[in-house]
């Protein structure tokens, strides 16, 4: 029975947390002379009306893939901050592959996606080797590689692979037969969404919770000394966990290019929701639990879409999206703190009895 | 013969400009990285300095725009940077939340708040010429020293903050020789033992973070009211993160921080010059990459197996 109480308090806490984030956001809007109620009406309209739920899922997909990867890396205590760069490298290599092979009318999406994942993994390889071989802090190297990837992609988009017809730095459109098909007509809900939610999530869960290998990652993450005693090859596991996270981030980039944008653009990860950085928050907020990650990325995806609707319909500047996102993250963290305190108190009471 | 003389003079000018601006533009990162170094020695990894700098840049610009008073602007910048760090301190010390996530979240908050308020006060479509202020922080010539030929102009003709930053490096170095410095190191290495020895870990960390917030706010304000005369979205563009990288590069040693910061800025200024010189065959994106590439390279050469303070970024919970 006590477990049910815990679940109930957890659920109530989540409601309180989200409610208080919105109250603070509303106060900010009201202080700037906006109509907070109207703004939030549009926020929910944009996020969770039945019509727009496919859009929310489409938005959540890159977040989900990136954060699933980060869950693996963070479980092994590899702080990969470079998902943003890995995402971009995946996107650009998928786009380049499709442009080079655009005259082959056979479906080659899997190869393009594999290539995207591999280039993401490649972008994560250097920091992990530097970390394992030379003990160089991976937070810094992955962060620096984000900037390098951005500038590299910007070079490719303004130089060799720029669409000569377009006004913007972007590649030419990917031909229809190389795009990832849409599943439900009239929406943008594509096969990649289905794949991520129904294949990647269970596989990650199974991998981390049920296999020997996942256990090794977890032992390594809990304490490297224990890992050494239990004869786990720390270096190998660390590098592999980083490669998995790079692969998934690259895959996310490839799917975003082939299914949503249909071309590589500089704003593949727009400034109001930088997938790579938001993914870090999603992974950590879900307590590194692959299933919880799914729900949190759907929620954050809806929030991003909703704040865009809010921006269009209630003319609230885009910055509000960032504000609400950050408030939610902070309040979820506070929620965990309160939950921790509460469960500790419950334990104390049980002990006294 | 005359031609070669002219070329030589031009070369001298270029080299002079290069060194002068790398000293001058290094100030914000230097200021922030020194105080962040002290805070990290105290066991707190504060990523939100990026956000503090951004908020400082924004609020300083706003005050300077409406009052034309740069002193008020600097004070506001310090205060608003302090507010964000106070929030960070509350969340990570009082509630013992994860320092990295909190830092990232607060940076997102700062990015949102500044771009939101900027649009809310100047309108959604900013005219081709963004709003700008008339005067910026002036350079302060040090009376006698600046008259020394070449060196005087190079070293003693900067904004006041540059001298302060330079002096702070040595104060910081000296700090760790004192009692207070020992206490800071103690709470960064093992807060439980420090607490047992009678140091109030949380109060000391609060004080450090508040000072850091004020300094980060001021150093961010240099971007909008000293180097440029306007505010741009995400103006700090990762300078706070770079500061944290440079601390690792300097192995948490204040004296090594000085060459690390100036080295990074020299490469940064160099890449700006490469861009400006218009070498057509060299894409500007590659020169933009240079500072980041060089940081990784420098870490590879000098930063192997560096160990930071033991309790860095670990939430400290008092025994209940």
The pLDDT of residue B126: 57
The pLDDT of residue B206: 95
Question: Is the residue at B314 inside a domain?
Answer: no
The pLDDT of residue B282: 75
Number of domains in chain B: 1
The segment with the largest mean pLDDT, out of A36-45, A125-134, B137-146, B291-300, is A125-134
At A63, is the pLDDT very low, low, confident or very high (cuts 50, 70, 90)?
Answer: very high
- Confidence check: pLDDT of B1 > 70: no
The segment with the largest mean pLDDT, out of A217-231, B51-65, B144-158, B284-298, is B51-65
Residues A112-169: tens digit of each pLDDT = 999 999 999 999 999 999 988 888 878 778 988 998 999 999 999 988 888 888 888 8
Question: Is the residue at B168 inside a domain?
Answer: yes
A121: closest CA of chain B, how far (Å): 18
The pLDDT of residue A242: 94
Nearest CB neighbour to A329, from listed B105, B111, B248: B105
Contact A282, A300 (CB under 8 A): yes
Mean pLDDT score, B120-143:
75
Mean pLDDT score, A214-223:
82
* Percent of chain B's residues with pLDDT above 70: 93
* Alpha-carbon span B23 to B166, nearest angstrom: 10
Q: Do B285 and A344 touch (CB under 8 A)?
A: no
The segment with the largest mean pLDDT, out of A58-72, A337-351, B133-147, B291-305, is A58-72
* Percent of chain A's residues with pLDDT above 70: 95
Q: Supply the range of the domain harboring residue B84.
A: 19-125+139-302
A107 Cβ under 8 Å from any chain B Cβ = no
**Contact residues, chain B, for A325 at CB < 8 Å:** 108, 112
Contact A147, B238 (CB under 8 A): yes
The pLDDT of residue A115: 95
Question: Is the residue at B90 inside a domain?
Answer: yes
Question: Is the residue at B88 inside a domain?
Answer: yes
Question: Is the residue at B100 inside a domain?
Answer: yes
What's the mean per-residue pLDDT of chain B?
A: 85
The pLDDT of residue A6: 63
The segment with the largest mean pLDDT, out of A9-18, A184-193, B171-180, B229-238, is B171-180
Q: Do B115 and A32 touch (CB under 8 A)?
A: no
The pLDDT of residue B218: 95
* Alpha-carbon span A81 to A128, nearest angstrom: 12
Q: Do A155 and B283 touch (CB under 8 A)?
A: yes
Write the DSSP assignment of A233-248 as a string of letters: -HHHHHHHHHHHHHHH
Q: What one-character DSSP code corresponds to residue A180?
A: P
- Confidence check: pLDDT of A274 > 80: yes
Residue written as token pair 């060459």: B259
- Confidence check: pLDDT of A287 > 70: yes
B296 Cβ under 8 Å from any chain A Cβ = yes
Closest CA to A59 of A321, A327, A242, A332: A321
Closest CA to A280 of A296, A265, A267: A296
CATH for B121: 1.10.3470
Stronger pLDDT, A7 or A322, i.e. the higher one: A322
- Confidence check: pLDDT of A34 > 80: no
Extents of the domains making up chain A: 62-298
- Confidence check: pLDDT of A15 > 80: no
Chain B window 186-215: which residues touch A at a Cβ cutoff of 8 Å? Answer: none
At B320, is the pLDDT very low, low, confident or very high (cuts 50, 70, 90)?
Answer: very low
Q: What is the ipTM of this complex?
A: 0.81
Residues B56-91: tens digit of each pLDDT = 999 999 999 998 889 999 999 999 999 999 999 999
Residues A176-207: tens digit of each pLDDT = 888 888 888 788 899 999 999 999 999 999 99
* Alpha-carbon span A79 to B157, nearest angstrom: 42
Question: Is the residue at B201 inside a domain?
Answer: yes
């Amino acid at each position: 029975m006590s477990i049910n109480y815990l679940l109930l308090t957890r659920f109530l806490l989540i409601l309180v947390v989200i409610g208080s984030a919105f109250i603070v956001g509303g106060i900010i809007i009201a202080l700037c002379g906006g109509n907070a109620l109207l703004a939030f009406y549009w926020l929910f309209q944009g996020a969770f009306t039945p019509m727009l739920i496919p859009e929310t899922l489409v938005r959540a997909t890159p977040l989900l893939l990136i954060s699933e990867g980060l869950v693996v890396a963070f479980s092994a205590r590899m702080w990969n901050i470079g998902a943003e760069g890995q995402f971009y490298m995946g996107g650009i290599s998928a786009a380049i592959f499709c442009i080079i092979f655009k005259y082959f009318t056979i479906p080659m999406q899997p190869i393009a996606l594999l290539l995207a994942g591999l280039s993401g993994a490649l972008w994560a390889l250097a920091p992990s080797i530097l970390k394992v071989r030379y003990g160089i802090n991976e937070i810094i190297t992955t962060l620096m590689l984000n900037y390098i990837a951005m500038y590299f992609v910007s070079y490719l988009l303004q130089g060799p692979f720029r669409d000569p017809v377009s006004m913007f730095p972007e590649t030419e459109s990917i031909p229809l037969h190389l795009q990832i098909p849409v599943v439900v007509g009239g929406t943008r809900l594509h096969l990649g969404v289905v794949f991520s939610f129904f294949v990647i999530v269970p596989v990650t869960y199974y991998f981390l919770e049920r296999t020997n290998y996942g256990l090794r990652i977890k032992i390594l993450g809990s304490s490297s000394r224990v890992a050494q005693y239990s004869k786990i090859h720390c270096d190998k596991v660390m590098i592999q966990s980083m490669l998995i996270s790079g692969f998934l981030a690259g895959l996310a980039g490839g799917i975003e290019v082939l299914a949503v944008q249909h071309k590589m653009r500089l704003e593949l990860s727009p400034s109001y929701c930088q997938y790579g950085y938001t993914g870090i928050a999603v992974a950590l907020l879900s307590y590194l639990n692959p299933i919880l990650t799914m729900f949190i990325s759907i929620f954050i995806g809806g929030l991003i879409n909703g704040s865009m609707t809010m921006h269009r319909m209630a003319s609230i500047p885009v910055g509000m999206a960032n504000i609400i996102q950050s408030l939610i993250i902070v309040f979820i963290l506070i929620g965990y703190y309160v939950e921790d305190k509460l469960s500790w108190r419950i334990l104390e009471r049980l002990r006294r009895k | 013969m005359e031609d070669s003389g002219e070329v030589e003079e031009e070369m001298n000018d270029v080299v002079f400009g290069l060194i002068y601006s790398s000293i001058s533009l290094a100030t914000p990162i230097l200021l922030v990285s020194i105080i962040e170094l002290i805070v990290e020695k105290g066991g707190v990894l504060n990523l939100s300095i990026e956000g503090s700098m951004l908020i400082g840049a924004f609020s300083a610009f706003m005050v300077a725009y409406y009052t034309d008073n740069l002193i008020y602007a600097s004070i506001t910048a310090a205060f608003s940077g302090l507010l964000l760090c106070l929030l960070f301190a509350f969340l990570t010390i009082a509630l013992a939340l994860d320092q990295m996530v909190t830092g990232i979240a607060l940076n997102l908050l700062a990015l949102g708040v500044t771009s939101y308020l900027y649009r809310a006060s100047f309108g959604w479509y900013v005219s081709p010429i963004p709003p700008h202020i008339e005067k910026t922080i002036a350079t302060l010539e040090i009376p006698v020293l600046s008259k020394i030929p070449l060196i005087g102009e190079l070293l003693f003709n900067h904004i006041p903050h540059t001298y302060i930053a330079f002096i702070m490096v040595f104060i910081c170095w000296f700090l760790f020789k004192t009692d207070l410095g020992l206490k800071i190191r103690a709470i960064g290495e093992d807060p439980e033992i420090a607490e047992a020895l009678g140091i109030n870990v949380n109060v000391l960390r609060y004080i450090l973070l508040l000072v850091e917030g004020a300094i980060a706010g001021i150093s961010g304000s240099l971007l909008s009211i000293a180097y440029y005369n306007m505010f741009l979205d995400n103006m700090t563009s990762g300078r706070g993160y770079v500061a944290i990288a440079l601390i690792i590069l300097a192995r948490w040693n204040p004296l090594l921080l000085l060459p690390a910061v100036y080295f990074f800025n020299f490469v940064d200024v160099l890449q700006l010059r490469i861009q400006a010189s218009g070498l057509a065959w060299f894409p500007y994106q590659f020169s933009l990459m240079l500072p980041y590439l060089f940081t990784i390279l420098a870490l590879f050469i000098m930063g192997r197996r560096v160990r930071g303070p033991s309790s860095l970024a670990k939430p400290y919970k008092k025994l209940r």
